[in-house]
Structure 1
Amino acid sequence: MTQTLDSRETTRLNMNRVAPEFYEAMMSLSAAAAKGLDPTLAELIKIRASQLNHCAFCLDMHSHDARKQGQTEQRIYLLSAWEEAGDLYTEQEQAALALTEEMTDLTHGGHVSDEVYARAAAAFTEAELAQVIAMATVINAWNRISVSTRVQPPRRRPAR
Protein backbone atom coordinates (compact mmCIF):
# COMPACT_ATOMS: atom_id res chain seq x y z
CA MET A 1 0.00 0.00 0.00
CA THR A 2 1.42 3.39 -0.97
CA GLN A 3 1.21 6.03 1.71
CA THR A 4 0.79 9.69 0.75
CA LEU A 5 2.62 12.02 3.08
CA ASP A 6 2.09 15.63 3.90
CA SER A 7 5.46 17.39 3.59
CA ARG A 8 5.19 18.34 7.27
CA GLU A 9 5.14 14.71 8.40
CA THR A 10 8.39 13.34 9.72
CA THR A 11 9.22 9.64 9.95
CA ARG A 12 7.71 7.65 7.10
CA LEU A 13 8.04 4.24 8.74
CA ASN A 14 9.85 2.60 11.60
CA MET A 15 12.24 0.01 10.14
CA ASN A 16 12.72 -1.69 13.50
CA ARG A 17 8.98 -2.29 13.76
CA VAL A 18 8.19 -3.01 10.10
CA ALA A 19 11.32 -5.00 9.15
CA PRO A 20 12.73 -6.29 12.45
CA GLU A 21 14.89 -9.03 10.91
CA PHE A 22 16.54 -6.53 8.58
CA TYR A 23 17.00 -4.04 11.40
CA GLU A 24 18.59 -6.71 13.61
CA ALA A 25 20.92 -7.69 10.76
CA MET A 26 21.96 -4.02 10.42
CA MET A 27 22.65 -3.88 14.16
CA SER A 28 24.82 -7.00 13.83
CA LEU A 29 26.69 -5.44 10.90
CA SER A 30 27.29 -2.31 12.98
CA ALA A 31 28.72 -4.36 15.83
CA ALA A 32 30.92 -6.36 13.44
CA ALA A 33 32.23 -3.18 11.77
CA ALA A 34 33.15 -1.69 15.15
CA LYS A 35 35.17 -4.74 16.29
CA GLY A 36 38.76 -3.71 16.92
CA LEU A 37 38.24 -0.20 15.51
CA ASP A 38 39.19 2.73 17.71
CA PRO A 39 35.84 4.19 18.89
CA THR A 40 37.03 7.76 18.29
CA LEU A 41 37.96 6.95 14.70
CA ALA A 42 34.67 5.10 14.21
CA GLU A 43 32.69 8.18 15.27
CA LEU A 44 34.70 10.44 12.93
CA ILE A 45 33.94 8.08 10.03
CA LYS A 46 30.24 8.04 10.95
CA ILE A 47 30.02 11.81 11.28
CA ARG A 48 31.85 12.51 8.01
CA ALA A 49 29.76 10.10 5.95
CA SER A 50 26.60 11.46 7.58
CA GLN A 51 27.63 15.01 6.66
CA LEU A 52 28.09 14.01 3.03
CA ASN A 53 24.78 12.13 3.00
CA HIS A 54 22.88 14.95 4.74
CA CYS A 55 21.63 12.58 7.43
CA ALA A 56 20.52 14.80 10.31
CA PHE A 57 19.60 11.90 12.58
CA CYS A 58 22.98 10.17 12.26
CA LEU A 59 24.88 13.47 12.47
CA ASP A 60 23.15 14.26 15.73
CA MET A 61 23.60 10.77 17.17
CA HIS A 62 27.27 10.39 16.29
CA SER A 63 28.26 13.94 17.26
CA HIS A 64 26.59 13.33 20.61
CA ASP A 65 28.35 9.94 20.97
CA ALA A 66 31.70 11.48 20.02
CA ARG A 67 31.32 14.14 22.72
CA LYS A 68 30.53 11.46 25.30
CA GLN A 69 33.78 9.72 24.31
CA GLY A 70 35.72 12.93 24.93
CA GLN A 71 35.92 14.23 21.36
CA THR A 72 36.46 17.99 21.34
CA GLU A 73 33.94 20.40 19.89
CA GLN A 74 36.66 21.77 17.61
CA ARG A 75 37.35 18.38 16.02
CA ILE A 76 33.63 17.78 15.50
CA TYR A 77 32.99 21.26 14.07
CA LEU A 78 35.98 21.17 11.70
CA LEU A 79 35.37 17.65 10.42
CA SER A 80 33.73 18.90 7.23
CA ALA A 81 36.97 20.81 6.48
CA TRP A 82 39.42 18.23 7.87
CA GLU A 83 41.83 18.67 4.93
CA GLU A 84 42.27 22.34 5.88
CA ALA A 85 42.63 21.70 9.62
CA GLY A 86 46.38 21.04 9.65
CA ASP A 87 47.44 18.40 12.14
CA LEU A 88 44.20 18.54 14.13
CA TYR A 89 43.53 15.02 12.81
CA THR A 90 46.14 12.25 12.85
CA GLU A 91 47.47 10.70 9.64
CA GLN A 92 45.37 7.60 10.34
CA GLU A 93 42.25 9.73 10.81
CA GLN A 94 42.98 11.69 7.64
CA ALA A 95 43.50 8.50 5.64
CA ALA A 96 40.25 7.04 6.98
CA LEU A 97 38.35 10.26 6.25
CA ALA A 98 39.66 10.42 2.68
CA LEU A 99 38.65 6.79 2.13
CA THR A 100 35.24 7.38 3.71
CA GLU A 101 34.64 10.37 1.45
CA GLU A 102 35.47 8.45 -1.71
CA MET A 103 33.39 5.46 -0.62
CA THR A 104 30.46 7.76 0.17
CA ASP A 105 30.50 10.01 -2.88
CA LEU A 106 30.70 7.79 -5.93
CA THR A 107 29.52 10.50 -8.31
CA HIS A 108 33.07 11.57 -9.21
CA GLY A 109 34.44 8.60 -11.09
CA GLY A 110 32.48 5.88 -9.31
CA HIS A 111 35.41 4.34 -7.46
CA VAL A 112 37.98 4.78 -4.71
CA SER A 113 41.17 6.12 -6.26
CA ASP A 114 44.41 4.17 -6.04
CA GLU A 115 46.00 7.14 -4.25
CA VAL A 116 43.38 7.26 -1.49
CA TYR A 117 43.40 3.49 -1.08
CA ALA A 118 47.22 3.40 -0.91
CA ARG A 119 47.21 6.15 1.72
CA ALA A 120 44.77 4.17 3.86
CA ALA A 121 46.65 0.91 3.30
CA ALA A 122 49.86 2.61 4.48
CA ALA A 123 48.17 4.01 7.60
CA PHE A 124 46.46 0.81 8.76
CA THR A 125 47.15 -2.89 9.03
CA GLU A 126 45.14 -5.00 6.62
CA ALA A 127 42.74 -5.99 9.42
CA GLU A 128 42.31 -2.37 10.54
CA LEU A 129 41.70 -1.24 6.96
CA ALA A 130 39.01 -3.89 6.59
CA GLN A 131 37.27 -2.47 9.67
CA VAL A 132 37.52 1.11 8.35
CA ILE A 133 35.93 -0.03 5.08
CA ALA A 134 33.28 -1.96 6.99
CA MET A 135 32.45 1.06 9.18
CA ALA A 136 32.15 3.40 6.20
CA THR A 137 29.94 0.85 4.43
CA VAL A 138 27.63 0.37 7.40
CA ILE A 139 27.17 4.07 8.18
CA ASN A 140 26.37 4.73 4.54
CA ALA A 141 23.65 2.07 4.74
CA TRP A 142 22.27 3.57 7.98
CA ASN A 143 22.30 7.04 6.39
CA ARG A 144 20.28 5.80 3.46
CA ILE A 145 17.75 4.15 5.75
CA SER A 146 17.39 7.25 7.92
CA VAL A 147 17.19 9.68 5.00
CA SER A 148 14.65 7.61 3.07
CA THR A 149 12.44 7.09 6.12
CA ARG A 150 12.94 10.67 7.36
CA VAL A 151 14.07 9.74 10.87
CA GLN A 152 14.28 12.99 12.82
CA PRO A 153 16.90 13.77 15.46
CA PRO A 154 15.61 14.18 19.00
CA ARG A 155 15.35 17.71 20.33
CA ARG A 156 18.12 18.20 22.88
CA ARG A 157 18.19 20.76 25.63
CA PRO A 158 21.20 23.06 25.77
CA ALA A 159 23.91 22.01 28.20
CA ARG A 160 24.11 24.14 31.31
Structure 2
Amino acid sequence: MSVYNYKVKYRSGELLSLSEYEGKVLLLVNTASKCGFTPQFAGLEELNQQYGDKGLQILGFPCNQFANQDPGDDETIQNFCQTNYGVSFPVFSRVVVNGKEAHPLFKHLKESARGVFWSKRIKWNFTKFLVDHNGNVVRRYAPRTKPEKLRDDIEKLLAQI
Protein backbone atom coordinates (compact mmCIF):
# COMPACT_ATOMS: atom_id res chain seq x y z
CA MET A 1 0.00 0.00 0.00
CA SER A 2 1.31 3.46 -0.84
CA VAL A 3 0.76 6.83 0.83
CA TYR A 4 -1.36 7.73 -2.21
CA ASN A 5 -4.19 5.64 -0.72
CA TYR A 6 -4.72 8.12 2.13
CA LYS A 7 -6.66 11.33 2.50
CA VAL A 8 -5.73 14.22 4.75
CA LYS A 9 -7.70 17.22 5.91
CA TYR A 10 -6.88 20.84 5.19
CA ARG A 11 -7.55 23.37 7.92
CA SER A 12 -10.63 24.36 5.87
CA GLY A 13 -12.02 20.90 6.54
CA GLU A 14 -11.82 19.70 2.94
CA LEU A 15 -10.18 16.35 2.28
CA LEU A 16 -7.25 15.93 -0.07
CA SER A 17 -6.12 12.61 -1.48
CA LEU A 18 -2.37 12.21 -1.33
CA SER A 19 -2.67 10.79 -4.85
CA GLU A 20 -2.59 14.48 -5.85
CA TYR A 21 1.15 14.27 -5.17
CA GLU A 22 1.73 11.13 -7.24
CA GLY A 23 5.10 11.22 -8.96
CA LYS A 24 6.67 13.55 -6.39
CA VAL A 25 9.14 12.80 -3.61
CA LEU A 26 7.37 13.55 -0.32
CA LEU A 27 8.67 14.56 3.07
CA LEU A 28 5.96 14.19 5.71
CA VAL A 29 6.61 15.76 9.10
CA ASN A 30 4.60 15.87 12.32
CA THR A 31 5.12 19.43 13.50
CA ALA A 32 4.49 21.65 16.52
CA SER A 33 4.70 25.41 16.97
CA LYS A 34 5.90 25.49 20.60
CA CYS A 35 8.62 22.83 20.54
CA GLY A 36 12.38 23.01 20.88
CA PHE A 37 12.52 21.64 17.33
CA THR A 38 10.14 24.30 15.93
CA PRO A 39 13.05 26.20 14.32
CA GLN A 40 13.29 23.23 11.93
CA PHE A 41 10.46 24.92 10.02
CA ALA A 42 13.16 27.21 8.59
CA GLY A 43 15.19 24.24 7.36
CA LEU A 44 12.11 22.56 5.94
CA GLU A 45 11.21 25.72 4.04
CA GLU A 46 14.79 25.93 2.76
CA LEU A 47 14.46 22.38 1.38
CA ASN A 48 11.11 23.35 -0.10
CA GLN A 49 12.64 26.35 -1.87
CA GLN A 50 15.66 24.39 -3.08
CA TYR A 51 13.93 21.24 -4.32
CA GLY A 52 10.24 22.11 -4.73
CA ASP A 53 10.53 22.78 -8.44
CA LYS A 54 12.58 19.59 -8.86
CA GLY A 55 9.84 17.30 -7.53
CA LEU A 56 9.96 17.48 -3.72
CA GLN A 57 6.77 18.17 -1.79
CA ILE A 58 6.94 18.78 1.95
CA LEU A 59 3.77 18.18 3.95
CA GLY A 60 3.36 19.39 7.53
CA PHE A 61 1.02 17.74 10.01
CA PRO A 62 0.62 19.61 13.30
CA CYS A 63 0.33 17.37 16.34
CA ASN A 64 -0.52 18.29 19.92
CA GLN A 65 0.22 14.88 21.48
CA PHE A 66 3.63 15.78 22.85
CA ALA A 67 3.53 18.06 25.91
CA ASN A 68 0.69 20.17 24.45
CA GLN A 69 3.13 21.92 22.09
CA ASP A 70 0.63 22.81 19.37
CA PRO A 71 -2.49 23.91 21.29
CA GLY A 72 -3.79 26.47 18.76
CA ASP A 73 -6.52 25.88 16.23
CA ASP A 74 -5.63 25.08 12.63
CA GLU A 75 -5.75 28.70 11.47
CA THR A 76 -3.52 29.88 14.34
CA ILE A 77 -1.00 27.15 13.52
CA GLN A 78 -0.98 28.04 9.81
CA ASN A 79 -0.52 31.74 10.55
CA PHE A 80 2.32 30.97 12.97
CA CYS A 81 4.16 28.89 10.36
CA GLN A 82 3.80 31.53 7.65
CA THR A 83 4.54 34.55 9.84
CA ASN A 84 7.52 33.16 11.74
CA TYR A 85 9.14 30.85 9.19
CA GLY A 86 7.73 31.84 5.81
CA VAL A 87 6.36 28.34 5.33
CA SER A 88 4.93 27.95 1.85
CA PHE A 89 4.44 24.18 1.86
CA PRO A 90 1.06 22.76 2.93
CA VAL A 91 0.40 22.52 6.66
CA PHE A 92 -2.68 20.39 7.16
CA SER A 93 -5.21 20.12 9.94
CA ARG A 94 -3.88 18.83 13.24
CA VAL A 95 -3.53 15.03 13.50
CA VAL A 96 -3.03 12.35 16.12
CA VAL A 97 0.05 10.24 15.34
CA ASN A 98 0.03 7.65 18.16
CA GLY A 99 -2.59 5.55 19.89
CA LYS A 100 -5.99 4.23 18.90
CA GLU A 101 -7.01 7.55 17.36
CA ALA A 102 -3.87 7.84 15.20
CA HIS A 103 -4.54 9.02 11.67
CA PRO A 104 -4.43 6.05 9.24
CA LEU A 105 -1.66 7.74 7.26
CA PHE A 106 0.58 7.83 10.33
CA LYS A 107 -0.26 4.22 11.17
CA HIS A 108 0.98 3.34 7.69
CA LEU A 109 4.11 5.51 7.97
CA LYS A 110 5.05 3.99 11.34
CA GLU A 111 4.51 0.45 10.10
CA SER A 112 6.54 1.09 6.94
CA ALA A 113 9.52 2.79 8.60
CA ARG A 114 10.05 1.92 12.22
CA GLY A 115 12.08 3.89 14.69
CA VAL A 116 14.85 2.95 17.09
CA PHE A 117 14.70 -0.71 18.18
CA TRP A 118 11.96 -1.27 15.55
CA SER A 119 9.53 0.85 17.51
CA LYS A 120 6.41 1.95 15.68
CA ARG A 121 5.66 4.76 18.09
CA ILE A 122 6.55 8.32 17.14
CA LYS A 123 8.58 9.64 20.04
CA TRP A 124 8.29 13.41 19.51
CA ASN A 125 7.47 16.29 17.19
CA PHE A 126 9.38 16.68 13.92
CA THR A 127 9.69 13.00 13.13
CA LYS A 128 10.16 12.94 9.36
CA PHE A 129 9.20 10.35 6.74
CA LEU A 130 10.71 10.36 3.25
CA VAL A 131 8.55 8.85 0.50
CA ASP A 132 9.67 8.06 -3.05
CA HIS A 133 7.85 9.11 -6.23
CA ASN A 134 5.93 5.81 -6.24
CA GLY A 135 4.43 6.44 -2.79
CA ASN A 136 6.70 4.04 -0.92
CA VAL A 137 8.03 5.03 2.50
CA VAL A 138 11.82 5.00 2.17
CA ARG A 139 13.11 6.25 5.50
CA ARG A 140 12.21 7.66 8.88
CA TYR A 141 14.27 10.39 10.57
CA ALA A 142 14.38 11.24 14.25
CA PRO A 143 13.21 14.64 15.49
CA ARG A 144 16.83 15.66 16.19
CA THR A 145 17.77 15.12 12.54
CA LYS A 146 17.92 18.57 11.02
CA PRO A 147 16.28 19.02 7.62
CA GLU A 148 19.58 19.89 5.91
CA LYS A 149 20.88 16.40 6.80
CA LEU A 150 18.23 14.93 4.45
CA ARG A 151 19.63 16.58 1.31
CA ASP A 152 21.61 13.57 0.04
CA ASP A 153 18.67 11.20 0.45
CA ILE A 154 16.30 13.67 -1.20
CA GLU A 155 18.66 14.23 -4.13
CA LYS A 156 19.01 10.47 -4.69
CA LEU A 157 15.23 10.07 -4.87
CA LEU A 158 14.78 13.12 -7.09
CA ALA A 159 17.33 11.66 -9.52
CA GLN A 160 15.01 8.65 -9.96
CA ILE A 161 12.05 10.69 -11.17
Pairwise same-fold verdict (TM > 0.5): no
Normalized per residue, the structure richer in helix is 1
With CA pairs under 8 Å and 6+ residues apart, which has the higher RCO, 1 or 2? 1
